Chain A
Amino acid sequence: METAHNDTSEPPLGLFRINAGSCNGCDVELAATAAVSRFDVERLGCRYTESPGEAAIVLITGPLTARVREKALRLHGAVPEPKVTVAVGVCPVSGGVFRDSYAVAGPVDAYLPVDVNVPGCPPRPQAIVAGIAEAVLLWKARRDGVPPPTAGSLPESGGENAAPAGVRGRMRFNAAACVGCRMCAHVCAGSAIRFDEEEAGLRFTLWHNSCAFCALCAHYCRTGALAVTEEWQLAHRHEEQYRLVEQGVVPRLPCAGCGEPLLPVPPELLRVAFRETSPEIARLTALCPECRQKESIGGTRR
């Protein structure tokens, strides 16, 4: 049994849940923070309440659908100041996989001041608890009229919080293995990946606040340029939300024949394509398609 963190001289802070059109995935994880003692929010000096008037911290799930918008805003308005708002899951932060739907009015911060985001689809209960802990710090600072403390460091994803097998967490990108095929962006349900042509090369950007941790991108990536990290502790202050990105640039190299810039062929791709590479193959990989045809078949064929 852990010792309680809360100062028992203070009454517990009320946590009020607003379901803004959620699929219920995050709500189930929220229920775990209410019912499973290992994640218990009471250790943070909080308790769930069904009455907005008794609440200090608002937890919002769902992408804020057109249908629920008015009611959600009304409920949020019924929570007395100083209140702190936590967006639970990627849906309230960015719309998640429901973004751009005609039925979705969100993201939530277009209508309400949000203070803490907990990315995930859904986030693990420990990540939600970390977000609530951050909200408690902010709430106390607001109550006392002092500037908010610097963001607390998050509990590690490992140790007693180690994820069970199958938890994928955020993705990481290895530019050296990327061939620029863009299959990852194509299969991403949350439109969390984009590619930009830049002077330096091809820029890859993945926004964690839109990523559902589904790892389809890594599944379809033949060269392992995208892989899961099992890191799921991503709760952060709202002002950091657009900085939660994974980026990398695949540099263009000049063709060894004509100097035309081209994306390099990563060794991972050669391993997929050939059982063993020869010096000849290695030489051809440094050439653009046109020079490669000249070298190998004596001319270009379209």
Chain B
Amino acid sequence: MTELSEKVPAALSRRIGEEVAVEWRIDAKGVMTGWCRLRQGAFILPAAEGVARLGGRLSMVTASLSAGARQRGVREIAYHFDLDGTTLTLTIELPLEGAEVPSLTPVFRNADWNEREFMELYAIRVIGHPDPRRLFLDKSIEPAAFERLIPYSTFTNGASSTALWAKVMTRAGGEEAP
């Protein structure tokens, strides 16, 4: 376990071509987690190759647009890898406008759906994705759904209820439909 704390930064640094520091934490049960913020978004692809060489797997990708990051003028994507029970999280920062990130699909095939999901939720372009279609959201919904605040009144404008009640109140009174 302790050798990971040396192997991981060495593999990442070798691939990226510059010194990378990983912060390691150990909880009360002895579970180790690694945390690292990469200097550039494009570094995620060589970093993933380094993780793959160590026998790691991609668990999940979390894109976010937190208030704190937004104040710094950036958005974040956290890539969570598993190294035989040890979770390594590599975070990258991307600009709020025109964000681009290389696809990890050449290294980890399961990045496909993770990337498709954050592409439909956020305005992030994934370069080299083999199938950049929407994953969940219907095509009628505007792109990058999480980029903007949708007021609740818009979210549920009650139009369906209003129309149905008009019919109920007309017919219930025994009159003919409008």
Contact = CB atoms under 8 A, between A and B. Distances in A.
A242 B159 contact: no
A102 B155 contact: yes
Question: What are the nearest 7 A-B pairs in CB distance?
Answer: A242-B171, A245-B172, A66-B138, A100-B156, A67-B138, A242-B168, A242-B167
A100 B159 contact: yes
Nearest to B137: A67
B178 to A, nearest CB: 11
Interface of A: 65-67, 94-95, 99-104, 106-107, 191, 194, 196, 205, 207, 210, 242-243, 245, 247
Contacts of B68: none
Interface residues of B, number: 19
A210 B164 contact: yes
B156 A242 contact: no
A13 B14 CA distance: 69
Given A94-B164, A100-B156, A194-B165, A247 B140 contact: no
B170 interface: yes
Interface in B141-164: 141, 155-161, 164
Nearest to B136: A67
Given A107-B164, A242-B167, A242-B177, 9 more contacts: A66-B141, A94-B164, A99-B160, A100-B159, A102-B156, A210-B164, A242-B168, A242-B170, A247-B172
B168 A205 contact: yes
A207 B141 contact: no
B40 to A, nearest CB: 37
Interface of B: 138, 140-141, 155-161, 164-165, 167-172, 177
A242 B172 CA distance: 6
Contact of A243 (B141, B159, B165, B172): B172
Contacts of A101: 156
Contact of A207 (B159, B160, B168, B177): B168
Contacts of B140: 66
A196 B141 CA distance: 35
Contacts of B160: 95, 99-100, 104, 106-107
B161 A100 contact: yes
Given A205-B169, A247-B172, A102 B141 contact: yes
A101 B161 CA distance: 10
8 contacts: A99-B161, A101-B156, A102-B155, A103-B138, A107-B160, A242-B171, A245-B172, A247-B172
A160 B167 CA distance: 36
Contact of A205 (B156, B161, B167, B172): B172
Contacts of A103: 138
A104 B159 CA distance: 12
A106 B157 CA distance: 15
A257 to B, nearest CB: 34
Give the one of A67, A101, A242 with max B CB within 10 A.
Answer: A242
B165 to A, nearest CB: 6
Nearest to A65: B138
Contacts of A245: 168, 172
Nearest to A67: B138
A165 B177 CA distance: 39
A205 B158 CA distance: 18
Nearest to A247: B172
Given A94-B164, A107-B164, A100 B158 contact: yes
Give the one of B138, B155, B167, B177 with max A CB within 10 A.
Answer: B138
Contacts of A67: 138
Contacts of A210: 164
Nearest to B159: A100
A191 B156 CA distance: 12
Nearest to A240: B171
B158 to A, nearest CB: 5
A205 B172 CA distance: 9
Contacts of A100: 156-161
B46 to A, nearest CB: 37
A287 B40 CA distance: 75
A161 to B, nearest CB: 27
Give the one of B158, B168, B169 with max A CB within 10 A.
Answer: B168
Contacts of B171: 242-243
